[in-house]
């Protein structure tokens, strides 16, 4: 594994390897065992969109591993004024040991990897959010013990989260169902890929059907970053695509609820459900730190 550009590039074994290391790093942190796995290594973090969890967890993670993280906003970089990715990538590769990027187009992250000579980590694009899903998988395994026999149900937009979750869930042996309105399905090529998994994958417009027997419920905002202008239209299209008590009643009794956050209460999830499942949702947020430390160790350790 040279980069983390999308989960589809990773084998099941590589995903499990990251999760196992993340568990180990979490254990070490909880027990005050401090090891400088990335002593003196430098990570650049390019943000072209807002962030709370990703920025702080990467920066703290790098610090805890004995390395250093630089926050690089596109408002300050020449990249934001039109310097080409292929030049920026080659320059930053001369200073840094790894690069984390949050941006719009997936092709931009892929280009950083193509033209640079250091590991590149995708910290969210319009297409996917692999770091989030590694933390989600880690959380599911913590709560459920294993992935075997589990069904994950995603309610809402077929967005970056849905794209990564379907890959993560199917690759780790879970069933995956998605309820989304017409016109808001996940990426077409991924839908084609999911056919390999037969009945383990289901897509419907019917939320309750998707929810049947689910062990893990997941949802995300109706309008993602960059879609602010579509807000009104999306509020109409997604009405009813909400995780609430009625939908939860269709799932398993001990079903867990995850949300990548930030959440819009009263839209994709009710206040009641979010707060009833705050335990796992904030463990999930914490696990961003451990999962990303594992990714950085896998990619940047000598
Ligand atoms: N879930 C997530 O990526 O959060 P941020 O946008 O706050 O980084
Ligand atoms: N789909 C959301 C995820 C935020 C973590 C967005 O892209 O804004």
Each residue of 241-285: pLDDT tens digit?
999 999 999 999 999 999 999 999 999 999 999 999 999 999 999
Q: What does the pLDDT read at residue 260? A: 98
**Is the pLDDT assigned to residue 188 strictly greater than 90?**
yes
Confidence label for 302 from pLDDT (cuts 50, 70 and 90): confident
pLDDT at residue number 75: 87
- Give the pLDDT confidence of 71-92 residue by residue, as tens digits: 999 889 999 999 999 999 999 9
Pocket test for ligand 2, best of 48, 101, 160 (most atoms within 8 A of CB): 160
Q: Which residues line ligand 1 (CB under 6 A)?
A: 51-54, 124, 132, 260-261
Instruction: Give the mean pLDDT of the chain.
Output: 98
Task: Answer whether 280 contacts ligand 2 (Cβ < 6 A).
Answer: no
pLDDT of residue 74: 84
Contacts of 278 (CB under 8 A, 6+ apart): none
Name the CA radius of gyration of the chain, rounded: 19
Name the E strands within the chain: 42-47, 68-73, 98-102, 120-122, 151-155, 175-179, 201-204, 216-219, 256-259
Average pLDDT over residues 12-40: 98
Q: What is the pLDDT of residue 186?
A: 98
pLDDT above 90: residue 295: yes
Residue nearest to atom 7 of ligand 2 (CA): 224
Give percent of the chain with pLDDT exceeding 90.
Answer: 99
In 3D, which of 160, 105, 114 has the Cα closest to residue 133? 160
- Residues 112-147 have pLDDT tens digits of 999 999 999 999 999 999 999 999 999 999 999 999
Q: Answer with the residue of higher pLDDT: 75 or 195.
A: 195
Find how far residue 65's CA is from the centre of its chain. 21
DSSP letters of 33-95? ----TTTT-EEEEEESS--SHHHHHHHHHHHHTT-EEEEEETTTSGGGGT--HHHHHHHHHHH
Q: Is 51 marked as a binding-site residue?
A: yes
* Residues designated catalytic: 102, 129, 132, 220, 260, 288
Share of the chain above pLDDT 70, in %: 100
pTM value > 0.95: yes
What is the 8-class DSSP label of residue 277? T
């Amino acid at each position: 594994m040279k980069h983390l550009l999308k989960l589809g590039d990773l084998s099941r074994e590589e995903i499990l390897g990251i999760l196992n290391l993340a568990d180990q790093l979490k254990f070490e942190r909880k027990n005050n065992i401090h090891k400088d796995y990335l002593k003196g290594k430098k990570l650049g973090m390019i943000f072209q969109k807002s962030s709370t969890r990703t920025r702080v967890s990467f920066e703290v993670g790098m610090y805890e591993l004995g390395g250093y993280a630089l926050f690089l906003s596109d408002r300050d970089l020449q990249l934001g004024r039109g310097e080409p990715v292929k030049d920026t990538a080659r320059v930053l590769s001369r200073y840094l040991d790894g690069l984390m990027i949050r941006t719009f187009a997936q092709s931009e992250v892929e280009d950083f990897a193509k033209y640079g000579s250091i590991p590149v980590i995708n910290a969210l694009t319009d297409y996917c959010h692999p770091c989030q899903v590694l933390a989600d998988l880690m959380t599911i395994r913590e709560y459920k013990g294993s992935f075997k026999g589990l069904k994950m149900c995603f309610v809402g937009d077929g967005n970056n989260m849905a794209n990564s979750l379907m890959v993560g869930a199917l690759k780790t042996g879970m069933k995956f169902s998605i309820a989304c309105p017409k016109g808001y399905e996940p990426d077409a090529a991924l839908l084609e890929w999911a056919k390999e998994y037969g009945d383990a994958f289901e897509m419907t417009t019917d939320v309750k059907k998707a929810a049947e027997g689910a062990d893990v419920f997941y949802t995300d905002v109706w309008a993602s970053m960059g879609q602010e202008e579509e807000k009104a239209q999306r509020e109409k299209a997604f009405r009813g695509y909400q995780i609430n008590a009625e939908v939860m009643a269709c799932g398993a009794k001990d079903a867990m609820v995850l949300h990548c956050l930030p959440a819009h209460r009263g839209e994709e999830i009710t206040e009641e459900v979010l707060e009833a499942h705050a335990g796992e949702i904030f463990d999930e947020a914490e696990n961003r730190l451990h999962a990303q430390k594992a990714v950085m160790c896998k990619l940047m350790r000598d």
